[in-house]
Structure 1
Amino acid sequence: MSAMAKAQRSGSVIGLRESAIEEYERHHREVWPEVLAAISAAGIRNYSIYRYGTLLFSYWEYEGDDYEGDLAAIDQVPACVRWNDLMATLQVPVDGARPRAWLPVPEVFHLD
């Protein structure tokens, strides 16, 4: 990405089983190093997950030239596959989302 290009921002939501809140937050205090490395290698920066009750909201910025390809590369990392399988036991889809998938949400305001 050129120095003048802006990062692509992404926000999405997914549900969380009420009984899994403590476990989910514990896992995210101890994210596996291979998962963090794969996310960074894919050009994901400034990644955050917020929780409101049983709703999770994620935000990240992408810096790269092949968004779909870079995200698909994460799914080829064995530790990420195991991590996503584990998270799928704790999460529940929101209305309109595919099973095991975060639902992208539109940006309605941004200020640099």
Structure 2
Amino acid sequence: MRYCFALDLVDDPILIAEYEKHHERIWPEIRESIQAAGITVMDIYRTGNRLFMIMETDESFSFARKAEMDASNPVVQKWETLMWGYQQSLPTARPGEKWVLMNQIFKL
């Protein structure tokens, strides 16, 4: 299954550069966590301060399972806290929501 998400970064060139630097070499535990959740592909793109993430999953993936795994993993929690210093919610996000799941409106 493919999912697409959007999120904004704080609109500060220095913070954006730091955020990208963190993603040049993510922590091994984060990579392991992503893969263990059944995520087979995760690509993040940026334009300005807007991020777009494409995530492909296998049949074992569920959002509930991923949330449980993340909540019980202190390294993931540390990473998420660090990343939140660079990120900001989209205007359309629900309270506490970071990455907003996008609706597909066209397919060729």
Q: Do both share a fold (TM > 0.5)? A: yes
Name the Cα RMSD after superposition: 1.5
1:105 aligns with 2:102: yes
**What amino acid maps onto 1:9 in structure 2?**
R
Q: Which runs of 5+ in 2 are unaligned?
A: none
The residue that corresponds to 2:18 in the other structure is: 23
Name the % identity: 32
Matches of 1:53 and 1:99, distance apart in 2: 23
The reply on whether 1:74 has 2:92 as its aligned counterpart is no
Total equivalences in the alignment: 104
Residue 4 of structure 1 corresponds to none
Runs of 4+ in structure 1 over 4 Å off: none
* CA contact 1:92–1:100 (8 Å) conserved in 2: no
1:108 Cα offset (Å): 2.3
**Residue aligning to 2:86:** 90
TM-score for both structures, normalised by structure 2: 0.87
Quote how far apart the aligned CAs of 1:100 are. 5.1
Matched residue, 2:30:
35
